[in-house]
Amino acid sequence: MTAEEESIRELTRIPGVGRSIAADLLSIGIRGIADLRGEGPEELYERLNARSGSGQDRCLLYVFRCAVYYAETPEPDREGDRLKWWNWKDGTRPPRKPGGKYTRIRRRSGS
């Protein structure tokens, strides 16, 4: 197995990351789950937009948010609803406990 294949195999362990998104992550220098720790999802999204020369679907940003959460949270502490990329949309945060309500993210005035 090549290093690229190993990276894709590892990255696809992240919920919501398939081969295509794993290849996108590889293209911006993310080789494994550990590489996501400390990364900003928005910065990853902007790097991929710059690399591709076009704006990617905003859902990709939500997957990146979920992926960073996955990488930074120890397995026993990962919460089920936080492992679903669609729960990372703009303006919401996944509930803290399964079955909880979504919390709206307040935007600072002027931003």
What's the pLDDT at 94?
A: 67
Tokens matching residue 59: 């859902």
| Ramachandran area for residue 37 (φ above 0: left; ψ -120 to 50: alpha; else beta) | beta
- Identity at 99, one-letter amino acid code: G
Taking CA atoms, 83 is separated from 1, 20, 47, 50, 97, in Å, by 28, 18, 23, 27, 12
Give the tens place of pLDDT for each residue, 31-84.
Answer: 999 999 999 999 999 999 999 888 889 999 999 999 999 999 999 999 999 999
pTM: 0.81
Domain-wise residue ranges, the chain: 3-104
Q: Which range has the worst mean pLDDT, 3-17, 20-34, 36-50, 94-108?
A: 94-108
Tokens matching residue 55: 């704006």
Backbone angles phi, psi at 68, to 5 degrees: -65, -40
Asked if residue 2 has pLDDT above 70, the reply is: yes
Return d(Cα 95, Cα 81) in angstroms, integer. Answer: 7
